[in-house]
Chains A and B, each alone.
Chain A
């Protein structure tokens, strides 16, 4: 019985990884992914950072938070509706794996993309601006957990039963922009008013930015363990609505 369980777990992990690798091959170079996942965070960064007084380390921390956030959250709303339209999503839903396995595989697609783009951003920051990393392990934790959490967030929008990426990209982008401005990325938490700060605490991006501040600048406003915990828990919680929405679609025939 135990062997059966272990074998099933091993199978499910291998299937999730197969989905991830397939998506990486098929979608990473698609214009939609490059536009929303690669260019968008850099455009956002330069739009709000050029000609403003800012230390190199502060800029790197901000850029890392932006890249993990925008890049990871772009995958789900782009890939899943596209696969629905092409009929390839049915192939995955009919395969012998659990829905959670499929969603974990899809989450990893966005997370790995975000980790890759963040690595490029980090390299650029270190080489071009001479920024140094105060606590590398916190940086690794921030990028990994932030990418996981934000990719799971994007998956919620991908779970809307639409067949056109544009239909879900719009609400997804709207939410991301909203979170961006309440999350202490452009206005530090310490400078926010009481109401704004309460709003900021509702956004997982706040904790990702704070963790990046700890990692790069060596200081943040919140306890880094709180940041890590919130990112981990929010990532898991974000999977719940995706599961429920998939179950609902299967029940109602959307």
Chain B
């Protein structure tokens, strides 16, 4: 299998090495810590991590915007430190913020990028038209980007990044803040680009998006790669993170304490009108939940067991927790948050 990206012992310290009164300051702040990974040709590679984990720093080093402190990056076999030009010609970048020129029309934005990437004069207009039609912006081609919605700017930003048909596309958080329709359109486009052979490096903290799109994912935490594998294999490795999900009627916060006290529940999370009870043994927990419902004369609207999601794996590795109401079991029950990361 051919590698598009090879990263070897990539390290980045922020700050001025040698400056500052303390040894820590003199060394700088460690953002990426001897990271190694490969991205195979044609795959969608997800790069996940919590805020401040080193995702953006790594991506900025891969796109030549930041110089590594140590380590080596090979893209298409070229060493980025010595021979970045041929890499840049075959690379597209969609940053987190849609960096379109708002004073220019959609057409002018594309024409400028095409000139910057030396798309031949004959190809420019045809390619711009093709992309504007694909992204549903053809009718708006003469409208300045300042009058575009966030989703339209995002689509234009992606169109600008692929006008030169890059073999490698970096996408940084492509869908947050977009409406469902725009997000779905962008995911569809990522699949299409991948099917056409483009290698995609997707930086995201949208776990479900990575689950849907990525052939493999890497999870970075505290500047180190905590896990790399396919989403399904990662889930298999974390079978212990299983859960029982139940919706009760009438619902209410009062269920929190008794449900979390059931034997085997490690963590209880309220998710909308449902309760998710994390456990290592769902089969033992199911009858207890039914008994609880019967004893309180509650109607069980739905009841299901769930395997670990990619989000669960991510949370397990990074030591984070789902951002909804969370009831911790009393006493000394093990807590997911306390399980720590896997390095």
Interchain CB contact under 8 A, A15 and B118: yes
The answer for the CA separation of A15 and B117 in the assembled complex, in Å, is: 8
The answer for the CA separation of A253 and B59 in the assembled complex, in Å, is: 13
Interchain CB contact under 8 A, A250 and B65: yes
| 22 examples of A-B residue contacts, CB within 8 angstroms | A11-B118, A15-B116, A22-B101, A22-B104, A25-B104, A26-B101, A86-B99, A87-B99, A88-B99, A88-B101, A90-B65, A91-B99, A92-B116, A94-B64, A94-B93, A95-B88, A96-B85, A96-B88, A96-B89, A96-B116, A250-B66, A250-B67
Residues of B within 8 A of A96 (CB): 85, 88-89, 116-118
Interchain CB contact under 8 A, B15 and A22: no
Interchain CB contact under 8 A, A18 and B112: yes
Top 6 nearest A-B pairs (CB, nearest first) are A87-B99, A96-B88, A18-B115, A96-B89, A87-B97, A26-B103
Q: Is residue A93 within 8 Å, beta carbon to beta carbon, of the partner chain?
A: yes
Query: Which residue of A22, A27, A86, A90 is within 8 Å of B112 (Cβ)?
Result: A22
The answer for the CA separation of A41 and B103 in the assembled complex, in Å, is: 26
Query: Which residue of A14, A91, A252 is within 8 Å of B14 (Cβ)?
Result: A252
Residues of A within 8 A of B104 (CB): 22, 25-26
Residues of A within 8 A of B103 (CB): 25-27
* Chain A nearest CB, measured from B208 CB (Å): 26
Counted as pairs of residues, one from A and one from B, with CB atoms less than 8 Å apart, the total is 74
Nearest opposing residue in chain B for A89, CB measure: B99
Residues of B within 8 A of A93 (CB): 64-65
Question: In chain B, residues 1-50, which have Cβ atoms closer than 8 Å to a Cβ of chain A?
Answer: 12, 14-16, 31
A252-B14, A253-B12 given as contacts; is B115 within 8 A of A94 (CB)? no
* Chain A nearest CB, measured from B15 CB (Å): 7
User: Could you give, for residues 46-82 of chain B, a 1 whenever the CB lies within 8 Å of some chain A CB and a 0 otherwise?
Assistant: 0000000000010010011111000000000000000
Interchain CB contact under 8 A, B16 and A252: yes
The answer for the CA separation of A190 and B85 in the assembled complex, in Å, is: 52
* Chain A nearest CB, measured from B73 CB (Å): 14
Interchain CB contact under 8 A, A90 and B101: no
The answer for the CA separation of A93 and B60 in the assembled complex, in Å, is: 11
Q: Is residue A219 within 8 Å, beta carbon to beta carbon, of the partner chain?
A: no
Question: In chain A, residues 1-58, which have Cβ atoms closer than 8 Å to a Cβ of chain B?
Answer: 11, 14-15, 18-19, 21-22, 25-27
Nearest opposing residue in chain B for A93, CB measure: B65
The answer for the CA separation of A94 and B117 in the assembled complex, in Å, is: 10
* Chain B nearest CB, measured from A1 CB (Å): 15
The answer for the CA separation of A250 and B93 in the assembled complex, in Å, is: 17
Query: Which residue of A26, A86, A90, A95 is within 8 Å of B117 (Cβ)?
Result: A95
The B interface, classified by DSSP as helix, strand, loop or mixed, is loop
Q: Is residue B108 within 8 Å, beta carbon to beta carbon, of the partner chain?
A: yes
The answer for the CA separation of A250 and B100 in the assembled complex, in Å, is: 22
Interchain CB contact under 8 A, A90 and B118: no
Interchain CB contact under 8 A, B12 and A90: no
Residues of A within 8 A of B112 (CB): 18, 21-22
Interchain CB contact under 8 A, A95 and B116: yes
* Chain A nearest CB, measured from B263 CB (Å): 50
* Chain B nearest CB, measured from A199 CB (Å): 33
The answer for the CA separation of A93 and B84 in the assembled complex, in Å, is: 12
Residues of A within 8 A of B16 (CB): 252
Q: Is residue A121 within 8 Å, beta carbon to beta carbon, of the partner chain?
A: no
The answer for the CA separation of A253 and B97 in the assembled complex, in Å, is: 18
A22-B104, A25-B108, A88-B101 given as contacts; is B67 within 8 A of A251 (CB)? yes
Nearest opposing residue in chain A for B66, CB measure: A253
Nearest opposing residue in chain B for A25, CB measure: B104
Residues of B within 8 A of A160 (CB): none
The answer for the CA separation of A45 and B98 in the assembled complex, in Å, is: 42
Residues of A within 8 A of B115 (CB): 14-15, 18
Q: Is residue A162 within 8 Å, beta carbon to beta carbon, of the partner chain?
A: no
Q: Is residue A97 within 8 Å, beta carbon to beta carbon, of the partner chain?
A: yes
Q: Is residue B91 within 8 Å, beta carbon to beta carbon, of the partner chain?
A: yes
Interchain CB contact under 8 A, A90 and B95: yes
User: Could you give, for residues 222-254 of chain A, a 1 whenever the CB lies within 8 Å of some chain B CB and a 0 otherwise?
Assistant: 000000000000000000000000000011110
* Chain B nearest CB, measured from A251 CB (Å): 5
Not counting A21-B112, A94-B91, A95-B88, a sample of 18 additional A-B residue pairs whose C-beta atoms are within 8 angstroms of each other reads A11-B118, A15-B116, A25-B103, A25-B104, A25-B108, A26-B101, A86-B102, A87-B95, A88-B99, A90-B65, A90-B99, A91-B116, A91-B160, A95-B117, A97-B116, A252-B14, A252-B16, A253-B60
Residues of B within 8 A of A25 (CB): 103-104, 108
Interchain CB contact under 8 A, B97 and A18: no
